[in-house]
Every structure is written in C-alpha cells, then in structure tokens.
Chains A and B, each alone.
Chain A
Amino acid sequence: MTREQEWVAAARQGDQKAFEELVRLYEKRVLALTQRMCKNPEDAAEAAQEAFFAAWQGLKSFRGESSFSTWLYRLASNACVDRLRREGRRRNAVSLDDEELNLDIPSSISSPQEEAERRELGERIGEGLRALPPEYRAVLILREIHQLRYEEIAGALGLDVGTVKSRISRGRKRLRRFLLESGNFSPPLPSKETGKEGRL
C-alpha cells in the first residue's frame, strides 16, 4: 500500500491529518485544473476548496474503482462546471480578461526573448482555452497539464473514451485555429523539446 493509499484509507475512517496530507499532496494539481477552468483565481480557489470538501464528505462512499486523483479531478471539474453554469445564468457571458487566466509559463529557458515569447504564447493559450466550451477546456487541461491518458480523463470526467478522443481533437483544433487567427501563433521548429508526455 502506498503512502497515498494509506492516507486515503485513514481519511475514510475520519482521520483529518491523513486528509490534510492528501490536500497538500493534491492542492497544486487540483488548482492547476480549477485555475484554468474558472474565470478568476478567487473562483478557482473556491472551486478547489469545494472539491476537497466534497472529497472529505464523499470519502466513505469512495470505493477506489478509480484512483483517488482521478476522482478528485472529477470533483474539481464538477465544481468548476457548476460555477460556470451559475455564472452563465447570471451573466450569459464569460470574461476573457487575460489577467484572470493565471497562465504563467515556466521560466526554464535561458533567453529572455524566448521566455517572453513563451509567456506571450501561454497567455494566448489561456485566452484560447477560455474561449472554448468548458467540456473541451476540461479535457485539454487534463491532457496537457495533468498529462492524463484518455482513459483516465474519461474516468475523471465520467465520459467514454470515444467522447474524450473527440473532444480533445476538436478542442485542440479550435485552440490551434484561435492561436493562428490571433496572429500570436508562430510555431518554432518541430524539434522543440516540450519536456512533457507525448510523442515527438
């Protein structure tokens, strides 16, 4: 049994310290999802908190059929979608304010110019993501940031794998078109190292 499994088992019995360990283990991953699903950092933090609280309340019914992380992502995604729906009812529109997207690009490259370009691209990607329907946004985030396999995404979002394939393909194509049309997308050489899962 891994340490995480031990914490899950203990938390199911009401062990708050064990649950806190799980919160700290997953807070970045959950926030990485909610910060890109929600329209501002405040909503993202609240959605993440709701997800963890829902996990605490639902732990007794968590049967371990999926991994804890997958289950948690589903709760986080649901919390975000609920918020977006409520917000949609209130405003019927989604803000595309760049400053709200919180899509900082890792500063692992040395050249200030490259870093600026990547930051710019990251901002445009964030903007493009915000322009996508939430269902496309969720699959792309789980794929590109959380690096989940299609099957895991399906589990996290309660979809079948075929739907995940379709949404990733359509979502990515829409995002690509958005970047091309915005004029901020000028792909560098194909050999660019991404450091992330996926071929090439």
Chain B
Amino acid sequence: MKYCEEYAALLDLYVDGELPAAEMERVQAHLETCPGCRGYVDDALVIRAGFPDIEDTVVPEGFAARVMERVREDAGKDAKIVELKRRSARRRAGTFAALAACCALAVFARTGPGGLSGGSDSASMVTASAGGAAPAGYAMDTGGAEASDDARHDLQMATGPTTAPEEVEAAARAAQIEGEAGMAATAMDREADMDSADAGGIEAGGIEKEASPSGYAEYAECEDETVSPTAPAALPEASKNVVCTAAGGEAALYLTAEEAGDILEGYTPVRETVIVMDDALAGLERWYELTEEEYRWLLDALGRPAGAAAPPVLVVVTGPFE
C-alpha cells in the first residue's frame, strides 16, 4: 500500500522528530487512519532498528596508536623546523654580536682528496685570499663599507669565471625581492652555486625546498632574514643577496673563530657566507666539509664529546678571521 503524496514529505521528518509539535500531532492523527503512511513509518523504524549501534563498531587493534604515530611523526617534523630556525637565529645573533666591523674574506674551495692531507696548498690558498688576491673562482670580498660600494663587482668577481653574468643578475633580483626583509648577506661558492642550481635552484626570497636531501637545513638557513635587521636602502642589491644552498646540508657543528682557532687551518671551506649589516660587512661564516673520521678528530681536538654524523659533515665557523 502506498503512502499519501500529501504526507510524503512529512513522514521522514516525523520519524526523525524534526517537526514542530503541532505538525507531529497532525501526522500522528493521519497515521491512525492511513495504513499506507503508517506502513511507511513502520518500515522506516524497522530500518532504523536494523542499523547497528555505535558501540557495536569494531575498532581495529592499535587504531589509536597508529593515528598517534602519524601525529608524532608530523609533530617531529614541526619540531625539527622550529629547532633549526631557533638555532639559525641563535647563530645569527651570536654572529652579529661578535662582529662589529671586520674585514671579511670569502674563500671557497672543495676540500681536496684526503681532506687534511691537502693541507698546505689549501692553507696557502686561504692566505693568498686573505691578502686580497683571490684566485680565480674563489669568492672574495675586501670588506668594510667600501666593499658594499663595489658589491656587484665583488659578487661577479667572487663567483668567478664559472658564474655567468645572468646568474649574478638573477642573484641580485632575488636579493631585491627579499631585501626589504632585512639582513643582507652573500654566500658564494665556486662550485656549489652550480650544485644548488642543479638541485632545484633558489626561489625568490631565498627559500629552496624539496630539491635537497636535507631540505630542512636550507629552509632554516634561508629563514635567516626573519631575524635580521633592516637592510640599508643604499646597499647595492647584489650585496643583499642570500644564497642559501651552497653546501646543501645541515651543519653538524657551529663554532666561533675563537673556538676553532687554527684547528681547521689545513682545510679549505666549501662555502663562505658574507654577512652585511647596516651597510657594512659584519662577518663571515666558513663552511667546511669533513669526513666522519675528520669530524671525530675535530671533536677530539676541541675537547668535546665524541659524536657521529653522516659524511660529509658540515662544520660552520663564524668569524672575523685574522
């Protein structure tokens, strides 16, 4: 028997208790005289009875634990980013405090085969650069306010013959985008500039993502502008540049130049970041790549507890340097 069309729209509302009281009474009165509509309501209630209760739902074993495992993984990622940002901020703060005005030097060289064994040649390279005669392909900045006046030239010079003029311009444009954010710094690497380009390039604003196997490090490194002072308007654009992927990894250890002393003298940095602040060069970071064995040796030389890290181990020394 069919239900009445007139009541068809009301019967479900009635079953679900969604009608106003007066309407409920009207439908109820109708049901007493209409077997078709009564049949529909009865069927609806039987269907309701056939649905299971929530309490009968079977929860797979370990369900909540699996959810929380995923949550912890997610929270772990966030924590890592926060930690790296914090560490990066601390490092920058320390750098700014330590480096009021200094002559800065930017030298880049891959640690040669054997690392420390490449000692004398590498060391001389550093010495030569410190003297102001940068070998071709090695970044060098003559430091101080004068340096910023010629920053574009220095950048060109620093990136050396392997760097095309377009790359310098591109770096300058990227710097312009991020310039308002604050700190201006340059990082130049004879080879790693190209490496980073290969790895996915540098996004405007200096943030590189995904391309590197250690993306968090780049992310944190490039967040530096968030903790830096306002860049001077007069600063040439090139010197505002931040290149953040030269070494492509997270540093395992940060040292001041004082802490490092001459322990790393036999090494050549693989990356160097020049920090410009208030229209003046404010400091320098040198990044070194060490093997795991060299890293353990370094920790021992520093009198620090032994630690392991996956090679190549990156060590950053912040100076001024003599």
Contacts and interface: CB of A to CB of B under 8 A. Distances in A.
Q: Report whether chain A binds chain B.
A: yes
Interface of A: 14, 16, 19-20, 23-24, 27-29, 31-32, 35, 41, 45, 48-49, 52-53, 56-57, 102-106, 118, 121-122, 124-125, 141, 143-146, 149-150, 165, 168-169, 172, 175-176, 179-180, 185, 187-188, 190, 192, 194-200
Contacts of A53: 67, 70-71, 74
A194 B68 CA distance: 36
Contacts of A14: 75
Interface stretch (B41-49, B83-91, B281-289): B41-49
Nearest to A42: B60
Contact of A188 (B15, B16, B44, B46): B46
A57 B74 contact: yes
5 contacts: A24-B64, A31-B63, A106-B55, A198-B16, A198-B17
A143 B16 contact: yes
B64 A23 contact: yes
A28 B41 CA distance: 29
B43 A176 contact: yes
B17 A31 contact: no
Interface string B176-190: 000000000000000
Given A103-B51, A106-B52, A150-B16, 16 more contacts: A14-B75, A20-B64, A24-B64, A29-B57, A31-B57, A31-B60, A45-B60, A118-B49, A121-B46, A122-B51, A125-B51, A144-B51, A168-B16, A172-B12, A185-B46, A192-B45
A53 B43 CA distance: 38
Given A16-B72, A49-B67, A197-B17, A172 B47 contact: yes
A199 B48 contact: no
Contact of A56 (B8, B60, B74): B74
A199 B17 contact: yes
B133 interface: no
A146 B57 CA distance: 12
B271 to A, nearest CB: 35
| Chain A binding surface SS class | helix
Contact of B15 (A56, A104, A200): A200
Given A31-B57, A41-B60, A16 B47 contact: no
A32 B54 contact: yes
Residue of A19, A28, A179, A180 with most chain B CB atoms under a 10 A cut-off: A28
A106 B9 CA distance: 31
Given A150-B18, A200-B15, A200-B45, A20 B68 contact: yes
A137 B301 CA distance: 69
Contact of A27 (B38, B40, B50, B64): B64
Contacts of B24: 199
Contacts of B39: 187
B93 interface: no
